[in-house]
Amino acid sequence: MFKFIKGHLESIAGIEIYPMISLLIFFIFFVVLFYWVITAKKDYITTVSNIPLDNQNDTEI
C-alpha cells in the first residue's frame, strides 16, 4: 500500500517541498516553545500549577 501512495505522490509536480515545509514548521514551533519555557517567570508557573488545587472556583452540581 505504501508503494501505491509513494508512486502516486511522486507523479505530482512540486510535492517535494511539502515535507521540508512541515519539518520547518515543526522545528520552529518547538524552538519557540522551548524558548517560552526557559524564559517563563517562576510566579506564573507556580500560579498555573496550582490551578487544579484551587477549590474556590468549584461549583457543586
What are the sequence ranges of the domains in the chain? 16-47
Give the pLDDT of residue 23. 95
Cα angle 19, 35, 26 (rounded to 5 degrees) comes to 10
pTM exceeding 0.85 = no
**Nearest-10 Cα torsion for 34, 40, 42, 45:** -80
pLDDT tens column, 22-50: 999 999 999 999 999 999 999 988 998 88
Give the pLDDT of residue 60. 57
- Nearest alpha carbon to residue 19 among 32, 30, 6: 6
59 — pLDDT class (breaks 50, 70, 90): low
The rounded distance, in Å, linking the Cα atoms of 17 and 4 is: 20
Q: What percent of the chain has pLDDT over 90?
A: 36
